[in-house]
Amino acid sequence: MNSIRHASTDAFWMFYETFWALVLGFTLSGLIQAFVSRKTMLRGLGERSVKNLGKSMFFGAISSSCSYAASAVAHSLNKKGANFTNSMIFMFASTNLVIDLGLVIYQLMGWQFALAELFGGVLISIILWVLLPKLFTPTKTSIAASDETDATQSKSTLGDAAGFTVGDFRMMRVELLAGFLVAGLVTSIIPTHFWSAIFLHGHGVWSECEGALIGPVIACLTFVCSVGNIPLAASLWHNGISMSGTISFIYADLLSLPLILIYRKYFGKSDTFKLVAAFWAAISLSGFLIGELFSIFKLVPKARITFFLHDHFTWNTTAILNCVALIVLCAVIALYRGNKGKSAEFAIDPVCGMQVRISDAPAHIRVYGVDYYFCMEGCKTKFLA
């Protein structure tokens, strides 16, 4: 019971340290999602080219979402005509190159890891851009045929942006809660010698290589994804995993076991196996290269500390930022409530609470004359059940 109490305390202080970053990240993401149409993104993802590689990363980075919704959006874009490779890079970028993730990494683990996440995310995208076409045969789908005109699209408002912010919070609440609690448990309950037995230490490049390979395996088995895996990554780093392994673990949020099962529904058993192998190879290789590069330039943090080890409130910069964030969050909630049900362009997923644009919702069903829109097929299935 004492260990559980310590775990809960650590989880709270992790949340306290990152509260302002989460609010800022989700608020900015909500603004971008409201004012950038997915149809605009679709037009830039049709053909595989260096230019569209950049667009895939950019549109993914401004489309912050949980890993489950990201997989649904990527699948939807591919069905509507986006190149498969571009769609997968979009999916990766929407969970690994986003504002909220970078802010939480910076707050919990330091600027070195935030910088590594950025460079590594770009590197993985390039590796996937080269690797995926060799594994998957592209299919020709006309974007023009599946696209609709934007002429009837109304102007988005701050209330619509607030809807995306609140929806993202509601959609990711389970991942966030699980991430903080699991990280607290790892820090408080699992002894350090357990991690020492798993990971090599003091073997130079071999330690980095092993960490890069095993990081995605841990991500697969812990089920925690999106921003929720950052607290656990901080605990793994604190307990001795190499920088390559820590970075690879963060990248591998798209390799959690529930997501692999979703890929199987989308793409079939054979293609899922190839996709998981490609992701694992790209993530491990990128994590290893980034770890070695940062080691060469002496950017690897020397102290294995995390930034949430507190036991009381202090009036400092974090406290001030959290107060400002609380005011911003209250304003967002007020805008959301004031706008709820007034926008004809957006709908609320009745299962997860995410706001979706009606014109390009990944899933839709009409029941007894009432239309329902969903962020992914999984929510639609749950709703019908």
Structure-block tokens of residue 375: 């962020």
Residues 6+ apart with CB under 8 A from 81: 42, 46, 141, 142, 143, 144, 145, 146, 147
Question: What is the DSSP track for 289-324?
Answer: HHHHHHHHTT-S-SS---TT--SS---SHHHHHHHH
Residues 272-298, mean pLDDT to the nearest whole number:
92
Residues 39-56, mean pLDDT to the nearest whole number:
80
Lowest mean pLDDT among 22-36, 58-72, 131-145: 131-145
For the chain, the first-to-last Cα distance in angstroms comes to: 38
Tell me the β-bridge partners of 357.
Answer: 346
Q: How confident is the model over 223-263, as pLDDT tens digits? A: 666 676 788 788 788 777 888 888 998 888 888 887 888 78
pLDDT at position 334: 92
Helix axis angle for 229-238 and 205-222, nearest 10°, is 140
Mean pLDDT taken over the chain: 79
Q: Is residue 142's pLDDT more than 60? A: no
Element (H, E) at 347: strand 346-348
Q: Is residue 195's pLDDT more than 80? A: no
If we measure between CA atoms, which residue out of 164, 239, 181 comes closest to residue 15?
A: 181
Q: Is residue 56's pLDDT more than 80? A: yes
Q: How confident is the model at residue 192 (pLDDT cuts 50, 70, 90)?
A: low
What are the sequence ranges of the domains in the chain? 2-145+154-343, 347-385
Give whichever of 68-77, 133-142, 228-237 has the largest mean pLDDT. 228-237
Residues 6+ apart with CB under 8 A from 32: 62, 63, 64
Q: Is residue 50's pLDDT more than 60? A: yes
